[in-house]
Every structure is written in structure tokens, then in C-alpha cells.
Structure 1
Amino acid sequence: MPEVTINGPAGRLEGRYTHNKATNAPIALVLHPHPQHGGTMNNRVVYTLFQAFVAAGFSTLRINFRGVGRSQGKFDRGEGELADAAAGVDWLQTNNPNASQIWIAGFSFGAWIGMQLLMRRPEFDGFVVASPPANLYDFSFLAPCPSSGLILQGDKDDVVSEPSVAKLAEKISKQRGLQIDYKVIPGANHYFQDRSELVLEHTTAYLKKAVARVTA
């Protein structure tokens, strides 16, 4: 899993990248949870999402936001992290000019950043988010949400309340032409402890179906 260095808006960004050799393989960026609460690209949920995209045939990148690991800069309350994510997408597109699709994924804080990027970049084809912090951050910008996607949530999450995520999923699902697959994982806490295999299973299955629909 090659290490990569990306020129970000606040300096060097550290990343890990797995390349799919297919000429038109889809691409995906995976974003990590809150940097001030120990979030890194090596978080177990982030790595599991990363593995799922790779298994589904994507060229996949995960990055450390500014100030995390060997990434330069310092925490910027979400604004700078959104710019970091955009730099990650630019890098993916530059290195995969013939990609058939582009997806965004994220866990917790990374889900919030990823969904904002989804609204700003019309080229995205879909998203996968785990524990989007709907009770902690404002997601009203998803009006309308530009693409369909998968939302994963644990029913034992004591950081992000399941009802708040269910409400968000329902709100997006009502928008014309969108399909939101909302999966509640029984017994899963915020970090999907002892449930990562279900995260991998649900995400891989969803992605393979989504890619098949486009290539059929």
C-alpha cells in the first residue's frame, strides 16, 4: 500500500493509495474522524471503508488532514480540512484521468467533510458515510443532495445518536431521483467495535452493485 505525498493548501498531506490497474477503474477518497479526538487515516473504520472500495475495484486514497501524522499545517475547524479533501480529489483525478466514477467516503467528522465536498464537486457519483454526526453538525447544506449513497450507523452509538442519522437519511431519501441505503448495524458503538466485518460486508456489496449498474 504505497505512501503518497500530496501538495495541500497548507503544505504536504500524507496519504496511502492503492491503484487498480484497470484503465477506467473508479476512484474514491476516504476521510478520517476528528483530528482533535485522535482521528487519523489509520482509524479502523476508515481502513475498513478503504478496504471495501479496493475490494470493489476502486483506485482508493485515504489522507491525513492537516496537522495529523506527517501532514503539515494545523487544525482549521473544518474549513481547511475541506480544502485538504479537495486536494485529495484533485490528486486522484490527475493520476486517474480515465476513471469511470468518483466517490467520497468518510467516518464521523470525515463524513461531514465528505458530504460538504459532495455538494461542491458535481463530478461525484456516490458516497459512503459511517456515523455522520447529524446531532453535532449542521447537514442542512444537503438541499438537495446531489447523489445517492450508503449510510452506516450503529444502534449503540453514544456519540452520534441513531435517531438523528435516521432523520437525515429519511430527509435525503425524499429527494427526487435519489436512493439512500440506510444500514443500522445492531450492537455497534460509534467506532463499530467488533462489527467492522459488517461494515466491510455492507459497503463492498453496495459498491459492487452500484458500479455494476453504471457499467451494465
Structure 2
Amino acid sequence: MPEVIFPGPEGRLEGRYHPQKERDAPIAIVLHPHPQFGGTMNNKVVYNLHYAFFNMGFTVLRFNFRGVGRSQGEYDQGVGELSDAASALDYLQSMNNNSKHCWVAGFSFGAWIGMQLLMRRPEITGFISVAPPANMYDFSFLAPCPSSGLVINGTNDRVAPPADTHSLVNKLHEQKGITITHTEIDGAGHFFETDEYMDTMVGNVSDYVKRRLTETSR
């Protein structure tokens, strides 16, 4: 998979870019967890989400936020990281200007950034939010949430407790014109620690995305 370096707001950003042969393939970016707690684009959840999208026919980009790996800059409390994500989407779109579908997927801190990107970019047609840390960050900016998506978490998540995720999902359910699907994986922790939990999470994501793509192609 090609390593790529592309311009970000604070200098170079390092990514992994996985194109499809079809010029009009859908595109997706995958956002990693918190940079100050060991989050990188090679996080296991992020890596598995990346390949799940690629195996469904998406051209996919995952990348390191500023200050992580070979990406320049330093941690910026989520503000700069949102700008990084916007630059990553710009880069992906510039390479794939025939794509009809654009998705964003994020894990933990990356889910929070992904949901903010959703508010800025009306071309995003769907989102995957894995273990969103609704206990740590304010998600009230999702008013209204502009597109339908999947929120998925484990019932034993001690980093982002399920009760807070339920509150977030319930607020999103009140909004008209979109459908928020919520799936919980029984027994899984924040990082979907076993192969079984990881496979179940990826399977749920794949089923959801395939269903959405089928619906939009009718």
C-alpha cells in the first residue's frame, strides 16, 4: 500500500493511500484515536476499518494527525486535527474527482473529529463512528446531524462508557431526515481487544455500509 505525504495546514501529513482501479470508486478516510495516548494511523481498529472499506470497493486514505509519526506540527486540542482531516479529504478528492460517494470513519478521538468534519463537508454521504468518547467531548455541534451513519461500541467500554454513547444516540434519533443506526457488541471493550470482537465490529460496519450503498444505487 503506497505511503503518501500530502500538504496539511502545519506542514506535511503522512498517510497510507489505497486506490481502486475503478475511477468512480467511492472514497473514505479513516481517522485515528487520540495522538497523546498512543493513537496513530496504524492502530488496530483504524487498520481494520481501512481494509474493510477497501474490500468493499472504496479508495481509502488513513493518515497521521499533526505531530504523529512523520506528520509535521504538534497536537492542537482537536482544532488543528479537524483542519488536518479536512486537508486529507481535499487530497483524497483531488485524486478521485469522479467519486459519487464519500464516507468518513473514525475511532474514539477520531470519531469526534469525523463527526465535526461531517458538519463542514456536505458531500459526505455516510459516517462510521466507532466508540465515540461522548463522555470526554461535546457532540452538541451535531445540530442537525447532516447525514445518516452508524455508531458502534462495546458494552464493556470503560474509556467511553456505553451510557454516554446511548445519550448521544438518543439525541441524534430526535433529528428528522437522517437515520442513526446504533450497534453494541456484547462484552467488547474500547479497543475490541480480541479477534472475535474485532471481527464482529468490522462485520457490522461492512454490513451497514454495503446496505447503504445498495440503497443509494437503486
TM-score class normalised by the smaller sequence: over 0.9
Residue number in structure 2 paired with 1:121: 121
Q: Distance in 2 between matches of 1:22 and 1:208?
A: 17
Return the letter of the residue paired with 1:197: D
Counterpart residue number, 1:134: 134
Counterpart residue number, 2:104: 104
Matched residues, percent identical?
55
One-letter amino acid of the counterpart of residue 14, structure 1: E
Q: Distance in 1 between matches of 2:155 and 2:115?
A: 22
- The one-letter amino acid of 1:58's match is F
Q: What CA distance in whole angstroms lies between the structure 2 residues aligned with 1:19 and 1:209?
A: 22
SS at match of 2:20: coil
Check whether the contact 1:29–1:105 (CA below 8 A) recurs between aligned residues: yes
Give the match's secondary structure for 1:104.
Answer: strand
Question: 4+ runs of 1 displaced by more than 2 Å?
Answer: none
Aligned residues: 216
CA distance in 2, matches of 1:55, 1:170: 31
Q: Which residue of 2 aligns with 1:60?
A: 60
User: Residue 137 of structure 1: SS of its match in structure 2?
Assistant: coil
Residue 201 of structure 1 corresponds to which residue in structure 2?
Answer: 203
C-alpha displacement at 1:29, in angstroms? 0.6
CA shift digits 1:37-90 (9 cap, x unpaired): 000000011111111111111101001000000111110111110000000000
Q: 1: CA distance between counterparts of 2:170 and 2:115? A: 16
Give secondary structure in 2 for the equivalent of 1:62.
strand
Contact 1:24 / 1:100 at 8 angstroms: preserved in 2? yes
Residue identity matched to 2:211: K
Letter matched to residue 83 of structure 2:
A
Q: SS state of the match for residue 68, structure 2?
A: coil
Q: Deviations over 1:88-135 (max 9, x none)?
A: 000011000000111111000000011001001111101001010101
Q: RMSD in angstroms over aligned alpha carbons?
A: 0.7
Cα distance in structure 2, aligned partners of 1:122 and 1:137? 22
Decide whether the 8 Å contact of 1:48 with 1:199 is kept in 2.
no
* Aligned residue number for residue 2 of structure 1: 2
Is this contact kept in 2: 1:11–1:71, CA < 8 A? yes
Shift of 1:24: 1.2
Which residue identity lines up with residue 18 of structure 2 in the other structure? T
* Equivalent residue letter for 2:140: S
Q: Gaps (5+ residues) in structure 2?
A: none
Q: CA deviation at 1:153?
A: 0.5
Q: What corresponds to 2:86 in structure 1?
A: 86
- C-alpha separation between the residues in 2 aligned to 1:21 and 1:175? 38
Query: Which has the higher relative contact order, 1 or 2, with Cα contacts under 8 A spaced 6 or more apart?
Result: 1
Alignment of 1:132-171 (within 5 A): 132-171=132-171
CA distance in 1, matches of 2:114, 2:184: 20
Q: Is the 8 A contact 1:6 1:14 kept in 2?
A: yes
